[in-house]
Amino acid sequence: MTYVLIPGAGGSADYWRLLGGELRRRGREAIAVDLPAADEHAALTEYAAVVRAAVPDRPDVVLVAQSLGAFIAPLVADHPAVRLLVLVNPMIPAPGETAGDWWAATGHPAARAAYAAAQGRDPDAGVDLATDFFHDVPDEVTARMMSAGGPQESPAVFTRPNPLRRWPDVPTRVVSGRDDRFFPVDFQRRLARERLGVQPDELPGGHLLALSQPVLLADRLETYRREV
């Protein structure tokens, strides 16, 4: 079984370094994909082509997609080697929906603000990497990731049409961080139920589970692998 790992915003394969190590210790192959996020003309079609090129020809591939990566994974799932999609704290798209339209269509801003208020944080505060993403990530891991600068993303990913016309006929699992401040878990549960008819499996941790909980996430992926 091979895991092909699709990053979220910023497109860096380095996000998967810890999880990839955990999977390899279990005897699995893990291929982390770098996406062309620095190319302002690259959109979902181009991102999907990069992922497709990374999928090995042999069977039994699991696509694992983080956050924005959920827009890319279903575009690659028709590859004959893919057996399973796993979406981690995902932006689950509706067919044809752009990543730019997703926020308002799903009610994300209100959900994030309500969760911040419930935690005693400012519901009107802008997105902050430390507060919203790295609050539960070990300091040394945070320092390494921050040294690369904040995530950049091609604007075309958010504005150009999404070629997805229907969800692929591939088993799909959703993993949600119970302490995710950016995509609160109640919001994720609703979205997964409405758009996929799936109940997420929850792990302790925030939005960046591959950095904060690589062992638990690897355990969960291996459970899914045995079930397929």
Q: Which domain holds residue 94?
A: 2-227
DSSP 77: T
pTM for this prediction: 0.97
Residue 148 pLDDT > 90: no
Task: Output the domain CATH number for residue 141.
Answer: 3.40.50.1820
Res 57 pLDDT > 90? no
Q: How many domains does the chain have?
A: 1
Cα angle at 101 between 176 and 150, to 5 degrees?
60
DSSP state of 130: I
Instruction: Tell me: pLDDT of 153 over 80.
Output: yes
**Average pLDDT, stretch 36-65?**
95
**Residue 157 near residue 43, CB atoms below 8 Å:** yes
Q: What average pLDDT does the segment 67-96 reach?
A: 97
Going through the chain in order, the beta strands assigned E by DSSP cover: 2-6, 29-32, 61-66, 82-88, 172-177, 201-203
The reported pLDDT for the residue numbered 58 is 82
Give the model's confidence band at 151: pLDDT under 50 very low, under 70 low, under 90 confident, else very high: low
Sign, CA dihedral 133-114-95-172, equals: positive
- What mean pLDDT comes out for the span 106-135? 97
Q: Count the residues in the chain.
A: 228
Q: Can you tell me the distance from the alpha carbon of 148 to that of 119, in angstroms, rounded to the nearest whole number?
A: 30
Task: Identify the pLDDT of residue 211.
Answer: 98
